[in-house]
Amino acid sequence: MLDYLAGRFAQLLIVLFGVSVVVFIAMHLLPGDVATLLLGDRATAASLARLRHQLGLDQPVIVQYWRFLSGALSGDFGTSLRDNRPAFGEVLQAFPVTLELTLSALLLAVAIGVPLGVAAALNEGTWIDTAITTPTLFGVSMPVFWLGLMVLLVFSEKLGWLPVGGLMPIGVHMARPTGLSILDAVLSGRSGLVWQALRHLLLPAATLATIPLALITRITRGEMLSSMNLDHVRTARAKGLPESRVIRAHILRNALIPIVTVIGLQLGLLLSGAVLTETIFSLPGLGRLMVDAILARDYPVVQAGAVFVATVFVLVNLGVDLCYAVLDPRIRRQ
Amino acid sequence: MSASTAIGEPAALRAAIARPAARIGLGIVTLFLFLCAFAPVIAPYNPFDQNLMGALASPSAVHLLGTDQYGRDVASRVLYGARYALLAIIVGDGLALASGTAMGLVAGYLGGVADAVIMRIVDVLLAFPYLLLALIIVAALGPSLLHSMIAIGIVYTPQYARLVRGQVLGVRHTDFVRAARALGASSRRIMLRHVAPNSLSPVIIMATLQAGAVVVETAGLSFLGLGAQPPSPDWGALLADGQNYFLTAWWIATFPGLAIFLVVLGFNLLGDALRREFDPRAR
């Protein structure tokens, strides 16, 4: 296991180095000159040259990359071109919103998807199976940004049940020590705020959960069906174990390994979907921050956001791989 | 993924599309291609013609899907938008298929340093959530429809590279490849004439499944303002237009979204059917 861990850690370092190179190259291809972006079109040639020297833009590319890498390692990506605040600070401030949204969506997808997949598998070929699997086909084909608009139209505009967007009603102020709305509302000790936080989170989380929910339902059904005919399941039945125990302890447990992996791998899908969901529901998360930064050519924020998200993504994938290795000894021996 | 049956075999192909779901998928994809080809004939209006007097008109006999904030006919714009979706598939999926297949072929066949370098590049590209990578590329190239398609092409390249590499590793030690090498065929000839055709089935299946994803992603970038720019009738741009009016004029955003959903569903149904038939593990 130690050899496996060392190997995976070495891979992680190589990938993170590659991530820094990709982000650095991408930002160097940015249209326009950074010094002009900072000082505006009316800047004199002398002031532009002075700023380029200050920023190190007149240095060889390899020196610039080294400065970027050493800055990145200490969380220094420069300051935002829009509001002069530290770029990494803006990313850290926006991240809890995205984290809360993605985790809520994942929780919804797992809590609904796994039981639905189990029910479909146990009723294979019946109307229950069809009633569950047909909507999953629609679910995986759903453009999340369109679905978001439609649920807003129905649940906010027509029915008036849920708010149109944002984290809290306009005019309601709450201290945000963690940045996670629900947790902050709980910490505030005001039950009304917890209710409001949940109401504001429900539609975006449900929208973002659609595709992972459909995928988790399908994979659970498929894995359950594969496990149902295995020898150890037949043996368990032959021993006279109650069917509920056979399903729980022998079929579902065996099917859970690939299901857990698929659940972990939904993160990329969720982080991508979060960019669009945050736009529709006016949530001040990392995705929205990145898009706004790109449109405003605020490259320090784009750099900080890209490196941060990729690092989180790589670490989560590593965590999933390690879980898989713990659950399945064959992976460790490879 | 290993293909037991070649995708070119007519009997197997017929079996794949015999399923009702596959027929629905094929029907939707065929209709999509038909509308792309004949959009100028079918569209009742020029998609760019403005009529401010008739702005935000709800669906009626005159404008089947209503009009947008500039009085442009939504049905005509959605019809023409299909062409942008097809273009995204050709450029985005095509780029990913071509570059990913080339990378996978070289990595799998040559092995050694080439394999290590290419697969590390693939690992790095896969280290980004796919839309984030597309965002970074668009940020670097500048927002435009072509750049968004290129970005999506790059995002999906690693998946083809991994798939093809796996396929190549499976066939590179087969007798017919050994025989070709013994006869003195060059590596390039062996890769293109012997290895590549025998790795094609799963690539075609992936291309079908990815076609829908490419449509969604490109539309997503346009929706964010990073892809097609106004007054382009790209479906994502139409949705972004409609977002500002969806509480008062629901039809502007509803129909382009429905079009995206149907096209993606069509490609998914077709891709699933092909995968079930040609990938033994999917059965």
Residue range A9-62, pLDDT digits in tens: 888 888 899 989 998 888 877 666 677 777 777 788 888 888 778 777 788 888
Say if the Cβ atoms of B141 and A16 lie within 8 Å: no
Q: Enumerate the residues of chain B whose CB falls inside 8 A of the CB of residue A146.
A: 239, 253, 256-258, 260-261
Contacts of B239 in chain A (CB under 8 A): 145-146, 149
Q: Give exposure, B37-54, as e/b (b: 16+ Cβ within 10 Å).
A: eebeeebebebeeeeeee
Question: What confidence score (pLDDT) does residue B199 get?
Answer: 74
User: What would the two tokens of residue A272 be?
Assistant: 């991508």
* Cβ-based contacts of A34 with chain B (< 8 Å): none
Cβ contacts of B127 on chain A, cutoff 8 Å: 15-16, 18-19, 310, 313-314, 317
If you ran DSSP here, which 8-state letter would residue B195 be given? I
Q: Which of A261, A262, A294 has the alpha carbon at shortest distance from A275?
A: A294
Has residue A168 been placed in a domain?
yes
Q: In this predicted structure, what is the pLDDT of residue B141?
A: 86
CATH of domain B10-37+69-282: 1.10.3720.10
Residue A83, in any domain of the structure: no
Question: Is residue A186 domain-shared with residue A233, that is, in the same domain?
Answer: yes
Residue A242 scores a pLDDT above 80? yes
Chain B neighbours among A 117-156 (CB < 8 Å)? 137-138, 140-147, 149-150, 152-153
Q: Which backbone phi and psi does B72 adopt, to 5 degrees?
A: -80, 145
- Shared domain for A101 and A197, answered yes or no, is yes
Are residues A242 and A103 part of one domain? yes
Both A204 and A56 in one domain: the answer is no
Q: Does B123 contact A14 at a Cβ distance shorter than 8 Å? A: yes
Does residue A159 share a domain with residue A67?
Answer: no
Give yes or no: residues A66 and A206 share one domain: no
What ipTM is given for this predicted complex? 0.85
Containing H/E element for A1?
none
Range of the domain at A19: 2-73
Indicate which CATH number applies to the domain containing A267: 1.10.3720.10
* CA nearest to B220, candidates B159, B143, B140, B272: B143
Residues A59 and A119 in one domain: no
Domain boundary among A40, A73, A106: A73
Kindly state whether residue A81 falls inside one of the protein's structural domains.
Answer: no
**In a shared domain, residues A251 and A181:** yes
Q: Does the pLDDT at position B276 exceed 60?
A: yes
In a domain, A86, yes or no: no
DSSP code per residue over B6-63: -TT-HHHHHHHTTSHHHHHHHHHHHHHHHHHHHHHHH-SS-TT---GGGTTPPS-SSS
In a domain, A82, yes or no: no
Summarised one tens digit per residue, pLDDT across range B86-138 is 999 999 999 999 999 999 999 988 888 999 999 989 988 988 888 889 998 99
Taking the whole predicted model, whether its pTM rises above 0.90 is answered as no
Q: Is the domain of A241 the same as that of A297?
A: yes
pLDDT of residue B59: 95
pLDDT in tens, B235-258: 999 999 898 888 889 999 999 999
Asked if residue A78 is part of any domain, the answer here is: no
Residues A184 and A323 in one domain: yes
Contacts of A185-189 with CB under 8 Å at 24 or more apart are none
The answer to the question of residue A247 being in a domain is: yes
pLDDT score for B3: 41
Give the tens place of pLDDT for each residue, A200-219: 999 999 999 999 999 999 98
Give how many domains chain A has, as a whole number: 2
Q: Is B148 helix (H, G, I), strand (E, B) or coil?
A: helix
Question: Quick one: pLDDT band at residue B205, thresholds 50, 70, 90?
Answer: confident
Tell me how many residue pairs between chain A and chain B have CB atoms under 8 A apart.
142
Phi, psi of A86 (to 5 degrees): -55, 130
Q: Residue type at A161?
A: W
Query: Quick one: average pLDDT of B7-16?
Result: 71
Would you say residue A282 has pLDDT above 70? yes
Helix B235-243 to helix B251-278 angle (10° resolution) is 140
| A131 in the same domain as A38 | no
> Cα dihedral sign for A225, A229, A231, A232?
positive
Same-domain check for residues A129 and A223: yes
